[in-house]
């Protein structure tokens, strides 16, 4: 139940109004279908653990689970650098990997591959915990034009280096629930 005095911040509503839809729901669905096919070819015989990076990876993880028709197990981890902010900071571990990964293949699922620090930290933690291998799958690989500490194994979509939200990605904690992928205009502010 919402607090009676709670108001949605004006910039949250303005962000949605100002955003450009880069991929509508149908385009995202087609891209996730293709990602699931590629992941099936790679992982079908490995009895993997599909590990969701909370919160951003929850939508893609759910979609992939319905498309991966082979034996697998599901787990999650919650590591974040953003905490609903616009820029990343130190990694905060809110929940360690929820399953023993010793000698297992782990499909690590997240929403966006941006600078790669969170994905690199989680993958390293899984390997340190004894995972045999970690395969990374994301909805969006953002073309940032800078080196990253890890390489993503597979992405459903490629996007320019813009602030993205929708389909699991958020703007200040909001808009993860949009079916498409949206981008704020360059230099956008909620003035």
Rounded CA gap, 162 and 111, in Å? Answer: 14
Residue-level pLDDT at 96: 85
**Residue 50 pairs with which residues in a beta bridge?**
74, 107
pLDDT of residue 97: 85
Give me the residues paired with residue 183 across strands: 20, 164
Show the low-confidence residues of the chain (pLDDT under 70): 1-5, 82-89, 190-191
- Please report which residue ranges of 44-116 form alpha helices under DSSP H: 58-65
23-29: long-range contacts (C-beta < 8 A, 24 or more apart)? 23/157, 23/180, 23/181, 24/179, 24/180, 25/179, 25/180, 27/180, 28/139, 28/156, 28/157, 28/167, 28/179, 28/180, 28/181
- Show the domains of the chain with their CATH numbers: 25-80+90-183 (3.40.50.2020)
Backbone phi and psi for residue 51, each to the nearest 5 degrees, phi listed first: -110, 115
Q: What is the pLDDT of residue 27?
A: 98
Q: Are strands 164-165 and 181-183 parallel, antiparallel or unpaired?
A: antiparallel
């Amino acid at each position: 139940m919402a607090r009676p005095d709670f108001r949605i911040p004006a910039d949250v509503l303005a962000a949605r109004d100002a955003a450009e839809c880069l991929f509508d729901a149908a385009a995202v669905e087609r891209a996730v279908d293709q990602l699931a096919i590629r992941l099936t070819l790679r992982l079908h015989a490995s009895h993997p653990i599909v590990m969701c990076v909370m919160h951003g990876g929850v939508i893609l993880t759910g979609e992939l689970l319905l498309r991966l028709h082979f034996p697998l197990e599901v787990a999650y981890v919650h590591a974040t650098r953003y905490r609903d902010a616009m820029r990343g900071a130190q990694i905060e571990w809110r929940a360690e990997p929820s399953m023993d990964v010793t000698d297992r293949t782990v499909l690590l699922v997240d929403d966006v591959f941006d600078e790669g620090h969170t994905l690199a930290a989680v993958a390293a933690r899984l390997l340190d915990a004894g995972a045999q291998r970690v395969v990374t799958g994301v909805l969006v690989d953002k073309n940032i034009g800078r080196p990253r500490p890890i390489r993503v194994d597979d992405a459903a979509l490629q996007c320019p280096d813009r602030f993205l939200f929708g389909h699991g990605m958020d703007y200040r904690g909001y808009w993860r629930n949009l079916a498409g992928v949206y981008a704020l205009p360059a230099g956008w502010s909620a003035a």
